[in-house]
Structure 1
């Protein structure tokens, strides 16, 4: 990536320029192959493989995949910069929490007319609750591609060595944290519990701690914060307990490398890590996945991304729609799950035995994600041009608590004040 723009600056003052920027070049002549350009996050090999499958079926269409972004926040910045320079891609696989941003800037097109022309999308495997995750002001702006959920990964061998029961894992946070301490007590550089918050876009795992208790991140109108609440304080209290139990500051890659290497007992991260975790553990130790503790009224923010169409050219939009349907259809969704730990967004892929039905019946770890679908809800995104600056600020406050430099209540008070100062004025 060549950009030198600090993500904390988040293109201040560029909203008007972004809205008025040119979004696509002239339509390609029909005698030449159409080339669609897409932006994604990692893993690049997943998108490259699926794009190759598509072009094999549609040889008159070429797909170029930009260098992937490390996360959805970075991807959002790249799309916004591209809209200013007039070099915007045709399609972006954008995180669910940033779809509102693209819609409000007039960058992503509403898919409602295309959906209406298709008829009943449910017959094609698209589930209405998942389509709701991509709505902004009642309109659909993306087709869900990759679904992830906050998940706990256990190294059952370390659990057993620490005196835990691999067949009866902890049901609440006090028990989970206590088990993490016992695993850390095994010594030899063994790490106990790590709840990852660095590297996950949009402070997603922090939101999960609040929402799993029934709390909210934003008010119903999306204009003000709602985490100045008992649930918001409890989330930071948990982060302090993670730090007291021995959690150290590590990048997301480092935490996953530690778990894959067998030196970490419990890791809280996205279920999309599943295939990598199981592959690394094969023949060395046993892996089990489990839900985060959830109160009766609790929900979890949906993670992952949806395919959004950004080109303004009508002819290219039609071609892009065909590509987006392929990527979110049963065949591509089956390959997505077999390659990663993502939850498939297409119901046909889930139910057909020859696709993923048999796979989920035989794989308990993968089934955990599918069983979470009813408790997944929209991933909140902060409004306004300071959206990414806000999530960076929250991450800094969390870090001060995990490292035991600040008390949760003081950190929450600062977080509330500073985030409100960055929200758009009514």
Structure 2
């Protein structure tokens, strides 16, 4: 899906998508009896701010809704879909889940996700959607209906160490905006300091492919055809983007370390730049405090081509088939995507506020944003956000894995990028639905 189509779809969702719900089973207007719902959430399994902030939001929700008890179930973002799939197969159907966007299509096709338009009255749905950025809402739409309500997500952010920039003779007021500038800055840091130049969250077992997709797109590279039948990550523009990463590594500018090691290296001042989700902002801020000046910039672009960032993160999805529990789940979803919730989600965890009207509001994020400029590059990119493409069919994760393994061979393994990406695409295409 190209950016023009994506933005048009986002506008259409807000303008017309809520006008004609088809009720499969209308939920009750309120929860007037005690009910317990399960809430599968990967932030609950995280260390530090993510878990604590989520627990607080759940506690606040239960206090405001005394008839609803929320049973939180924590599982990592890499494992949560497998956990949900296993529990569904065993008849333990979760009520509401935090679903990684790349798994959303699989959840709709195989796990029985419920479209909000099928259970929530149109006027109520429209009222809650007011104020949420259309780009964010569109992320959870599958086959024209909202199966996932965008919850926690971000765009790629280039964090950088302003102190290392100064030591290397670089201007921290003018961070790199292109990949060529990133390479030059990283080499200067390597040459004039004891630190590494740049690390990224693109590769590794826990990385997924969201950041890689944004890099390919920013060079106008493909991921999958518009009809979702043919893979396209071996097209010339995509290969060129992979070759850029290979050159970055071969030059000594790019250090190949796993995500956790890269986070720790950036937080301890041993890496000059780090391209990663803003969700790690709290971790980096805590590490840098009192040691060095941490700053952030937008995702690098290829020459004069505009960067085309896509989202990371998750949506909230209802799986329950019980009307009372569906109402309770919807109430929880509304609370978790409210102005109050996004104030917590942004200020305490580091994700984007989907309700952008709270950014300048002193009752919500206004004062916090003034004191925390690291959020600004992320907010800038919200206007040009594109969808994290999920691959179709039951083999979607293996397709993703094959693509990323091909890219790793090209960047770090010495295989020519065109050869590695073509072999990966050919193998992955056999896993696509016929």
Quick one: which of 85, 90, 98 aligns to 1:93? 98
Q: Is the 8 A contact 2:196 2:255 kept in 1?
A: no
Q: Is the 8 A contact 1:281 1:287 kept in 2?
A: yes
Q: Is the 8 A contact 1:115 1:121 kept in 2?
A: no
Matched ranges for 1:98-109 at <5 A: 98-109=103-114
* SS of equivalent to 2:359: helix
Quick one: which of 129, 133, 138 aligns to 1:132? 138
Residues of 2 paired with 1:66 and 1:250: CA distance? 30
Per mean C-alpha deviation after superposition, the further-off stretch among 160-169 and 197-206 is: 197-206
Q: What is the match of residue 162 of structure 2?
A: 156
Gaps of 5+ in 2: 1-30
Q: What is the match of residue 209 of structure 1?
A: 215
Question: Is structure 2 residue 47 aligned with structure 1 residue 38?
Answer: no
Check 1:211–1:53 CA distance in 2 against 1; reply closer, same or farther (3 A cut).
same
Quick one: which of 281, 287, 298 aligns to 1:280? 287
Question: Is structure 2 residue 393 aligned with structure 1 residue 384?
Answer: yes
Quick one: which of 301, 305, 310 aligns to 2:314? 305
Q: What is the match of residue 417 of structure 2?
A: 408
Q: What is the match of residue 228 of structure 2?
A: 222
Q: After TM superposition, give the deviation of residue 187 of structure 1 in Å.
A: 5.3
Gaps of 5+ in 1: 1-29
Matched ranges for 1:233-382 at <5 A: 233-246=239-252, 247-294=254-301, 296=305, 298-382=307-391
Write the deviation string for residues 166-220 of structure 1: whole angstroms up to 9, x where unpaired: 11112211110121122122454x2111122225553111101111223331111
Q: How many residues align?
A: 394
Write the deviation string for residues 148-171 of structure 1: whole angstroms up to 9, x where unpaired: 111111011111111211111122
Residues of 1 paired with 2:223 and 2:182: CA distance? 24
Check 1:160–1:404 CA distance in 2 against 1; reply closer, same or farther (3 A cut).
farther
RMSD: 2.1
Write the deviation string for residues 223-256 of structure 1: whole angstroms up to 9, x where unpaired: 2212222221022112212321433442211110
Question: Is structure 2 residue 112 aligned with structure 1 residue 111?
Answer: no
* SS of equivalent to 1:46: helix
Question: Is structure 2 residue 55 aligned with structure 1 residue 48?
Answer: yes
TM-score by length of 2: 0.85
Residues of 2 paired with 1:57 and 1:348: CA distance? 24
Q: What is the match of residue 7 of structure 2?
A: none
Check 1:31–1:164 CA distance in 2 against 1; reply closer, same or farther (3 A cut).
closer
Per mean C-alpha deviation after superposition, the further-off stretch among 410-419 and 290-299 is: 290-299
Residues of 1 paired with 2:158 and 2:307: CA distance? 16
Write the deviation string for residues 80-117 of structure 1: whole angstroms up to 9, x where unpaired: 22221111211111122221211122521000141614
* SS of equivalent to 1:325: helix
